[in-house]
């Protein structure tokens, strides 16, 4: 293996999700050369996943006639907490318990493997080639079914002492809440800023305000309906977006007072609503934060569903220089 | 200077406060050999401070007949934001504007100088030789006239992109607050968890509850009065301490969800109240935090007013190994 690193030309980024596993082959300059997906087999506590990932990588190496010496390694994103050493602490989504996934995968693939949490690698990907390109102290928040987060410090993922850093969705933003968060606590950001959270907020505000709105006649209301109506200046929808922005802005003000990032990046499915989200969050962030921390840039994520594979590739490349 | 580092035997830790400048001479094993204080001359925007500090260090070197080659450097704590490069961004307490204090002091003393924020160096000191000894991911909160904080990651101060990391006192913990924080915002932690904050809380709760209490007859009520009464199981005082603990516990839960430290350390003048503070905070922290982040150790700071000079010395020593 001596001198192997200087010969590296490629790396793999593998983002394991609950439904599918996204795979990318990158060159070490950061170009995504090819991407593909395989289904996630969750049977028997996801026991087949490591072998499935190994097989798809080894198949790709064969297909492309690559030499293993040319491959710097494999980065893997996991939908659960991963500690500093790359050990998965628990992964309810896949059914995994404690697993040294990097070690296990290295044995199966015969390449250096690095593992990290999926929200954290997405943040790293956005820093490297996405909305936060050019920055090295970044906080990313992902607004999807849940609310995830990633904290990047000096260009590297900050995992925290037990893989719990960047759990932005579980910051308490409303101590008066009576409804339960998925985690069993009350008043966490995820209850207001996730896709289901926005719908819950919408129903509550519709009930309270009882004013005319296009939303009143929508069946199976979604967060997209709310943001679309707000863009068309529907008063009720604007109130919902303002409330969403207040909770998210306050949550991010807590994060800033703790780590003082250079930039915030907002991603996830709901972020497709665009500028209306940035504006609502930025305004409320600035209203709650200390002067010295005001006016930080808020950027949209640009890599979409590929943020994870980019970040996984960067995990490998960062290891080459540290 | 070649090889000078291997000859290092001593370093200085200098903690500049608004009233006095605390100075310490340490050996590189971490022993405080001697400490002394000089007054802070705030005349003309504190312009004499750098020379005063240089003079006291040079005097000590002469008095002890030390050789400059034996001295690893000088660490300086500043009561204001300091960026990654050691540049003071503003120091209202001393009257300083933007100042590259390390560079200025190096010219005056002829030794390597490192500067950081005072709350941050106190956290570093407690990690090195105090309540968080043995840990390397530490969050310290200082409860005094104000509420300060310091975030230590991998054994080093995390300053943030603009010196604003660890501004725990300015985390919003009550969005219903109508009174103003010193910083101009509303509902910040400092309004409830500083010495004046506890007195303010006490008066508010006394007014609301109107129940019998030893506190009703105390003139010029202090935070110490409140904690003393609570230790004697005065019902009203216990309610005040519980409210204080709720705000501080929630504030620290935000910090944990962002950086996931190994341990929290609580210091500052008010921390002298002891275990009653740890208990109130710990209970409320655990009630608000995600399961994965529950049950972190909460420790009392042990270095008292010397935390700053210890941390300043450690600033110098950390630079020797990085």
Cβ-proximal residues to A66 (8 Å cutoff; 6+ apart), any chain:
A10, A60
pLDDT band at A2 (very low <50, low <70, confident <90, very high): very low
Are the Cβ atoms of A185 and B151 closer than 8 angstroms? no
Interface test with A, best of B119, B187, B247, B259 (most A CBs within 10 A): B259
CA dihedral B65, B68, B72, B76 (to 10 degrees): 80
CATH of A4-128+305-321, one of 3.40.50.12160, 3.40.50.720, 3.30.420.40, 3.40.50.300: 3.30.420.40
Interface test with B, best of A119, A182, A248, A290 (most B CBs within 10 A): A290
Inform me whether the pLDDT recorded for A6 exceeds 80. no
| Higher per-residue confidence, A6 vs B5 | A6
- Show residues of chain B in contact with A262, CB under 8 Å: 161
- Show residues of chain A in contact with B164, CB under 8 Å: 256-257, 260, 290, 292-293
Q: What is the pLDDT of residue A275?
A: 95
Phi/psi at B32 (nearest 5 deg)? -80, 110
Q: What is the pLDDT of residue A4?
A: 44
Are B238 and B228 within 8 A, CB to CB? Answer: no
Whole-angstrom distance, CA of residue A91 vs CA of residue B130: 36
SS3 letters for A67-92? CHHHEEEEEEEECCCECCCCCECCEC
Average pLDDT, chain A: 93
Residue corresponding to tokens 């919408």: A202
> What is the percent of chain B with per-residue pLDDT over 90, rounded to a whole number?
85
Q: What is the pLDDT of residue A5?
A: 45
Cβ-proximal residues to A109 (8 Å cutoff; 6+ apart), any chain:
A54, A57, A58, A74
- What DSSP state is assigned to residue A113? E
Cβ-proximal residues to B31 (8 Å cutoff; 6+ apart), any chain:
none
Whole-number Cα distances in Å, A61 to A10, A115, A126, A128, A316? 10, 20, 26, 25, 17
Q: What is the pLDDT of residue A260?
A: 97
In terms of Cα–Cα distance, which of B79, B81, B82, B71 is closest to B106?
B71
ipTM: 0.92
Least confident of A179-193, B88-102, B239-253: B88-102
List, for residues A59-94, the tens digit of each pLDDT value.
999 999 999 999 999 999 999 889 888 898 888 788
Whole-angstrom distance, CA of residue B127 vs CA of residue A13: 37
Average pLDDT (B90-94) is 81
Q: Does A293 touch chain B (CB under 8 A)?
A: yes
Strand order in the sheet with B10-16: B32-39, B20-27, B10-16, B71-78, B113-117
Q: Nearest-CA residue of chain B relative to A149?
A: B258
List, for residues A268-299, the tens digit of each pLDDT value.
999 999 999 999 999 999 999 998 899 999 99
Are the Cβ atoms of A151 and B259 closer than 8 angstroms? yes
Are B188 and B209 within 8 A, CB to CB? Answer: no
Instruction: Read off the tokens for A132.
Output: 């936060």
Q: Does B79 touch chain A (CB under 8 A)?
A: no
Q: Does A85 touch chain B (CB under 8 A)?
A: no
Q: Does B170 touch chain A (CB under 8 A)?
A: yes
pLDDT band at A319 (very low <50, low <70, confident <90, very high): confident
Q: Does A167 touch chain B (CB under 8 A)?
A: yes
In terms of Cα–Cα distance, which of A196, A194, A189 is closest to A221?
A196
| Higher per-residue confidence, B184 vs B299 | B299
Considering only CA atoms, give the Rg of chain A: 21
* One fold for B4-128+305-321 and B134-301: yes
* Annotated domain spans of chain A: 4-128+305-321, 134-301
Q: Which residues pair with B117 in a beta bridge?
A: B78
N-terminal to C-terminal alpha carbon distance within chain B: 17
Inform me whether the pLDDT recorded for B1 exceeds 60. no
Q: Does B258 touch chain A (CB under 8 A)?
A: yes
Nearest to A260 among B161, B254, B290 (CB): B161
Average pLDDT (B158-186) is 92
Inform me whether the pLDDT recorded for B70 exceeds 60. yes
Are the Cβ atoms of B164 and A89 closer than 8 angstroms? no
Q: What is the pLDDT of residue B4?
A: 44
Q: Nearest-CA residue of chain A relative to B183?
A: A290
- Show residues of chain B in contact with A132, CB under 8 Å: none
pLDDT band at B84 (very low <50, low <70, confident <90, very high): confident
Residue corresponding to tokens 């660890």: B166
Average pLDDT (B95-121) is 94
Inform me whether the pLDDT recorded for B182 exceeds 90. no
What is the SS3 assignment for B22? strand
List, for residues B189-230, the tens digit of each pLDDT value.
999 999 999 999 999 999 999 999 999 999 999 999 999 999
Measured in residues, chain B has a length of 322
> What is the full DSSP assignment across B259-295?
H--SEEEEESGGGGGTHHHHHHHHHHHHHHS-GGG-S
Average pLDDT, chain B: 93
Are the Cβ atoms of A257 and B161 closer than 8 angstroms? no
Average pLDDT (A140-166) is 94
Inform me whether the pLDDT recorded for A3 exceeds 60. no
In the CATH scheme, what is the homologous superfamily, with its name and number, of domain A134-301? ATPase, nucleotide binding domain (3.30.420.40)
Strand order in the sheet with A147-153: A156-157, A147-153, A138-143, A263-267, A298-300
H helices of chain B, where?
Answer: 4-7, 43-46, 49-63, 101-109, 118-129, 190-193, 195-209, 223-231, 235-259, 275-288, 307-321
Could you give the count of Cα atoms lying within 13 Å of A119 in the half-sphere of its Cβ? 30
Q: Which residues pair with B91 in a beta bridge?
A: B96
Are B312 and B75 within 8 A, CB to CB? Answer: yes
Q: Are strands A71-78 and A10-16 parallel, antiparallel or unpaired?
A: parallel
Q: Does B87 touch chain A (CB under 8 A)?
A: no
Average pLDDT (A123-131) is 97
Inform me whether the pLDDT recorded for A175 exceeds 60. yes
Inform me whether the pLDDT recorded for B164 exceeds 80. yes
């Amino acid at each position: 293996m001596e001198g192997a690193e200087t010969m590296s030309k490629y790396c793999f980024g593998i983002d394991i999700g609950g439904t599918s596993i996204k795979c990318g082959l990158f060159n070490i300059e950061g170009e995504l050369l090819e991407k593909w997906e395989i289904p996630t087999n969750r049977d028997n506590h996801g026991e087949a996943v490591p072998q499935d990932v190994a097989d798809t990588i080894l198949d790709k190496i064969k297909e492309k006639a690559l030499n293993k010496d040319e491959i710097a390694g494999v980065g893997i994103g996991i939908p659960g907490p991963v500690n500093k050493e790359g050990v998965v602490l628990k992964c309810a989504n896949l059914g995994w318990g404690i697993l040294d996934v990097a070690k296990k995968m290295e044995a199966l693939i015969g390449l250096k493997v690095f593992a990290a949490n999926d929200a954290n690698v997405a943040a790293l990907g956005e820093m490297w080639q996405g909305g936060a390109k050019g920055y090295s102290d970044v906080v990313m928040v992902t607004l999807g079914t849940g609310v995830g987060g990633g904290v990047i410090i000096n260009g590297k993922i900050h995992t925290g002492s037990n893989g719990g850093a960047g759990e932005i969705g579980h910051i308490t933003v409303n101590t008066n809440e009576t409804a339960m968060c998925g985690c069993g606590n009350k008043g966490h950001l995820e209850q207001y800023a996730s896709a289901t959270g926005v719908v819950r907020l919408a129903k509550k505000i519709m009930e309270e305000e009882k004013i005319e709105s296009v939303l009143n006649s929508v069946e199976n209301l979604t967060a997209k309906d709310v943001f679309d109506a707000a863009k068309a200046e529907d008063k009720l929808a604007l109130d919902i977006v303002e409330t969403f922005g207040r909770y998210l802005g306050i949550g991010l003000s807590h994060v800033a007072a703790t780590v003082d990032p250079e930039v915030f990046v907002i991603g996830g499915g709901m972020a497709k609503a665009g500028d209306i989200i940035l504006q609502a969050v930025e305004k409320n962030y600035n209203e709650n934060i200390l002067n010295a921390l005001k006016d930080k840039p808020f950027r949209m994520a640009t890599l979409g569903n590929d943020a994870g594979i980019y970040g996984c590739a960067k995990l490998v490349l960062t290891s080459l220089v540290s």
